[in-house]
Amino acid sequence: MKMAGKILYISTVTMGALSGCIKPYMPPSTTANANVLVVDGLINTADSTIILLSRTVIITNKTTANPETKATITIENATSTVYTLTETVKGTYVTPALTLDNTQQYRLRIKTSNGQTYLSDLVPARVTPPIDSVGSNVLPDGLQIYVNTHDATNNTRYYKYKYQETWQYRSAFNSYYVSNGLSLNLRTPAQYVQYCFGNDFSSNVIVNSTITLSQDLVYQFPIAVIDSGSEKLETKYSILVTQQALTSGAYTYWQDLKSDTEDLGTIFDALPSQLFGNIHNINNAAEPVIGYISAGTLQKKRIFITNAQVPQTWTAEYFAACASQIYLDYGGDPSFLIPLPNPDVYIQPGNPFVYTTDLCGDCTAQGGSVTQPSFWK
């Protein structure tokens, strides 16, 4: 069995970190904004409502996640309780799909485990118009994803977006063998690690307004940019865009949050402002609470982009580090590397064995999964 030209993945090579001359900045420790309640979510009048509760942490702490558990959350209209949410995992509270009257106003009531009660303002349910299309434009250094939509009634005017990315990528080399520590064996189909799927979510605030336009029309509004050297474009890429109609108050909140967290950096940028959401401690109006609760519906649209649709000069940057394979000629005796039960089956005398690092031969080493998503096509 001749194995020349095939890739054998055997061992891991760990790259040392490069040291620089930039001194890390450690901000001064403060507890002024520690343990503030954070409320994130939408009262979805046509689907499942998901509310995330957490607490802020001190920036110097090692712990970054601080979910607020064992709370009681209810959806209310102006006169009564509509539904009670259930905590599914720590800090995540969920209802099954609901069908609520979009002509009414809604709010959240939150009672935490320490006995404090928080109430959001009553807000109107905003019905989101469908997304007309999601598309892409080729830029000099990447691919820009955009969204088109419109409201013929001119009633929406304020929009918020988020997205989920999924992409298929491959390892630089195909690993045909796997080691169990004692021997080297051909991989079974269940052990193939050449193709993987990665996932990511939007992390920035994405809002848009058409209030200054004569028509409620959103045309090629940029949602995301994918770098030309990203592995996201190496095989196939998919993005699921979610669109939400906002009230003017919600838009102002999210726009201020965006300015305070993303648009700072020069003397010409806006100064940080005090954010006022619509959630309050009913017994202590001065207590800060982070978050803005809206109500209404969502619209979603997914597109796929293949590697053939982007410039073929674009190459995944992680391939560059895998340009050189390591060839070891054992002269038919691979026992130098690892004992094999039947070496003549795997190596013919005079043929090289080839191996590479896990990052170059195992796609899961980059954090992906070999399991194909159900929506993939």
User: Quick one: pLDDT at residue 275?
Assistant: 79
Share of the chain above pLDDT 70, in %: 78
Between these two residues, 178 and 375, which has the higher pLDDT value?
375
Q: How far is CA 300 from the centre of its chain?
A: 16
pLDDT higher at 162 or 345: 162
Structural domains in the chain (count): 1
Average pLDDT over residues 8-16: 32
Is residue 360, in this structure, part of any structural domain at all? yes
At 77 the pLDDT is: 96
User: Rg of the chain's alpha carbons, rounded to an integer?
Assistant: 27
Q: Does a structural domain hold residue 37?
A: no
In a domain, 327, yes or no: yes
Q: How far apart are CA 261 and CA 184, in angstroms?
A: 51
Averaged pLDDT for residues 341-353: 42
* 203 in any annotated domain: yes
Instruction: Write the CB contacts of 191 (distance below 8 Å, at least 6 apart in sequence).
Output: 178
pLDDT at res. 7: 34
In a domain, residue 139? The reply is yes
Q: How many residues does the chain have?
A: 377
Residue 263 has what pLDDT?
66
Give residue 182's pLDDT band: very low, low, confident or very high (50, 70, 90): low
Q: For residue 240, tell me if it sits in a domain.
A: yes
The pLDDT, as a whole number, for residue 274 is: 67
Cα(150)–Cα(216) distance, integer angstroms: 6
Q: Please compute the mean of the pLDDT values over residues 137-152 and round it to a whole number.
A: 97
Tokens of 239: 């993005």
pTM of the complete model: 0.83
The answer to whether residue 6 is domain-embedded is no
Q: Residue for token digits 């209404």?
A: 296
Which domain range does residue 226 map to?
A: 126-248+297-366
Tokens read off for 354:
């080839």
Reduced to 3 states, what is the DSSP secondary structure of residue 37?
Answer: strand
172: in domain: yes
Q: Which of 166, 173, 168, 167 is nearest to 194 (CA)?
A: 173
Write the pLDDT tens digit of every residue in 102-112: 999 999 999 99
Instruction: Look over the chain and give the mean of its residue pLDDT values, rounded to a whole number.
Output: 84
**72-81, 136-145, 296-305, 330-339: which has the minimum mean pLDDT?**
330-339
Residue 12 has pLDDT above 70, yes or no: no
Q: What is the pLDDT of residue 353?
A: 61
Listed ranges 61-75, 261-275, 337-351; the one with the highest mean pLDDT: 61-75
* pLDDT tens, position by position, 216-275: 999 999 999 999 999 999 999 999 999 999 999 999 999 999 998 886 555 445 545 567
The pLDDT of residue 66:
93
pLDDT digits (tens, 9 = 90+) for 187-229: 899 989 999 999 999 999 999 999 999 999 999 999 999 999 9
